[in-house]
């Protein structure tokens, strides 16, 4: 394995489902420096369930074969106590993916309990400063389950991923407007990572203009754009026969990188613990616009003006999260 050229201490990153499709698209990007920077060594704790350990060995061999200068160590394990030991980041990718015809919430009964065990193991073995990003679906509620199962880790260190939805939404607006995707900014996806999510096109910008001044087709925005973003995951499953992997991994890289990078100007969508911002019910993990300050603390962006249409959409998505919480917590015996 390559030795690091940098004198910085390695960031230790646990990845669950490390031999899965998203894991395979993610690990090489972390090890190459795309997540934490080109002079930041990383150690990878690769976690798999027992039947995946042979495949994991192959993934670790390939990581070795890349001779990444920044990769200082690879741990391969199915033991959560080993996998989360002293980690700085826990990327909870592994879970049973949905199949055609399912909604993400249908996975609650299957995946929910996994996040109890992972939350407990993170609580007991990770650094207290660990930051946790949940990707496995339904990611908002799984994140809440992990957070509740890790009482010693501050709630504001738990995140679930809607960056994939933000990226999807930006691409759709760019295509419609005929501009490069980099010109689309300030597009927050609010609520649940489910078809009820709301990509807020009212506040989005295309170049320096309001997106709604560039794309004036209100019917397209409300009746095509919003539902298409919300059901893009299902469309990928229908087309590929498997759920998104490379784009999901890319969004994990974007999420983490932007959580450790001061945000100059724009903001990004991340699901975080609600303290009642924008009328969101406190205590759920819901997607909001996040900014990061110069010392790496995140906060929900204040002062965004939401239209009545947006408020209704966001409230409906958050109600879905309350319902998911009630169902999952009832099944798992967790208390709110």
Distance set, CA 324 to CA 53, 112, 142, 306, 329 (Å): 32, 11, 10, 25, 8
User: Which residues, in sequence order, are bridge partners of residue 77?
Assistant: 47
Indicate which single residue of 85, 98, 125, 176 sits in contact with ligand LMR (rule: CB under 6 A). Answer: 98
Q: Helix or strand or coil: residue 331?
A: helix
How many CB atoms neighbour CB 274 within 10 A? Answer: 21
Smallest separation (angstroms) from ligand LMR to the CB of 329: 22
Smallest separation (angstroms) from ligand LMR to the CB of 107: 8
Number of residues that bind ligand LMR (CB under 6 A): 10
Smallest separation (angstroms) from ligand LMR to the CB of 135: 8
Question: Does position 170 bind ligand LMR by CB under 6 A?
Answer: no
Answer positive or negative: Cα dihedral of 15, 19, 23, 28: positive
Which C-beta is closer to ligand LMR: that of 222 or that of 240? 240
The angle at the Cα of 179, spanning 173 to 182, to the nearest 5 degrees, equals 80
Indicate which single residue of 16, 118, 137, 203 sits in contact with ligand LMR (rule: CB under 6 A). Answer: 137
Indicate which single residue of 233, 268, 287, 318 sits in contact with ligand LMR (rule: CB under 6 A). Answer: 233
Q: Helix or strand or coil: residue 214?
A: helix
Which C-beta is closer to ligand LMR: that of 238 or that of 316? 238
Q: Can the peptide bond before residue 138 be classed as cis, meaning omega within 30 degrees of 0?
A: yes
- Stretch of 52-60, 109-117, 152-160, 242-250 lying at the interface with ligand LMR (CB under 6 A): 242-250
Element (H, E) at 136: none
CA pair distance 92, 114, nearest whole angstrom: 10
- Stretch of 118-126, 241-249, 268-276, 277-285 lying at the interface with ligand LMR (CB under 6 A): 241-249
How many CB atoms neighbour CB 87 within 10 A? Answer: 26
- Stretch of 68-76, 142-150, 215-223, 236-244 lying at the interface with ligand LMR (CB under 6 A): 236-244
Residue given tokens 């004036």 in the structure block: 216
Smallest separation (angstroms) from ligand LMR to the CB of 152: 29
Which C-beta is closer to ligand LMR: that of 72 or that of 162? 162
CA pair distance 220, 226, nearest whole angstrom: 9
Question: Does position 148 bind ligand LMR by CB under 6 A?
Answer: no
Smallest separation (angstroms) from ligand LMR to the CB of 27: 18
How many CB atoms neighbour CB 330 within 10 A? Answer: 9
From 176, 193, 291, 313, active-site residue: 193
Joined together, the tokens standing for residue 246 give 């490379």
| Binders in 182-201 for ligand LMR, by CB under 6 A | none
Nearest to 163 by CA among 264, 292, 288, 23: 288
Indicate which single residue of 111, 167, 244, 274 sits in contact with ligand LMR (rule: CB under 6 A). Answer: 244
Question: Does position 167 bind ligand LMR by CB under 6 A?
Answer: no
Whether 268 is catalytic = no
**Three-state secondary structure along 236-258?**
HHHHHCCCCCHHHHHHHHHHHHH
Which C-beta is closer to ligand LMR: that of 33 or that of 195? 195
Joined together, the tokens standing for residue 208 give 């320096």
Which C-beta is closer to ligand LMR: that of 4 or that of 141? 141
Question: Does position 250 bind ligand LMR by CB under 6 A?
Answer: no
Known catalytic residues?
193
The binding site for ligand LMR (CB under 6 A) comprises 97-98, 104, 137, 164, 233, 236, 243-244, 248
């Amino acid at each position: 394995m390559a030795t690091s050229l940098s004198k910085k201490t390695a960031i230790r990153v646990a990845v669950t489902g490390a031999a899965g499709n998203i894991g395979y698209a993610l690990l090489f990007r972390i090890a190459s420096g795309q997540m934490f920077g080109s002079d930041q060594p990383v150690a990878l704790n690769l976690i798999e369930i027992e039947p995946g350990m042979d495949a994991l060995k192959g993934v670790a061999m390939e990581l070795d074969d890349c001779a990444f200068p920044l990769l200082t160590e690879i741990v391969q394990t199915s033991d959560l106590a080993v996998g989360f030991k002293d980690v700085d980041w826990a990327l909870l990718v592994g879970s049973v993916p949905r199949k055609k015809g399912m909604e993400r919430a249908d996975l609650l009964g299957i995946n929910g309990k996994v996040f109890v065990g992972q939350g407990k193991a993170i609580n007991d073995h990770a650094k207290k400063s660990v930051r946790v990003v949940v990707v496995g679906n339904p990611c908002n509620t799984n994140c809440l389950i992990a957070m509740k199962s890790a009482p010693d880790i501050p709630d504001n260190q738990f995140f679930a991923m809607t960056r994939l939805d933000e990226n999807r939404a930006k691409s759709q607006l760019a295509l419609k407007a005929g501009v490069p995707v980099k010109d689309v900014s300030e597009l927050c996806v609010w609520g649940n990572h489910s078809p009820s999510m709301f990509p807020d096109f009212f506040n989005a910008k295309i170049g320096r203009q309001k997106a709604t001044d560039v794309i004036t087709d209100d019917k397209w925005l409300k009746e095509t754009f919003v539902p298409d973003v919300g059901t893009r995951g299902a469309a990928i499953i229908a087309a590929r026969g498997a759920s998104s992997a490379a784009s999901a991994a890319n969004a994990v890289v974007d999420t983490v990188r932007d959580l450790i990078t001061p945000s100059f100007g724009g903001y990004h969508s991340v699901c975080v613990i609600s303290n009642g911002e924008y009328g969101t019910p406190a205590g759920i993990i819901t997607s909001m616009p996040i900014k990061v300050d110069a010392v790496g603390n995140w906060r929900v962006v204040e002062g965004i003006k939401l239209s009545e249409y947006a408020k209704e959409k966001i409230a409906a998505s958050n109600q879905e999260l309350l319902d998911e919480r009630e169902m999952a917590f009832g099944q798992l015996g967790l208390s709110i």
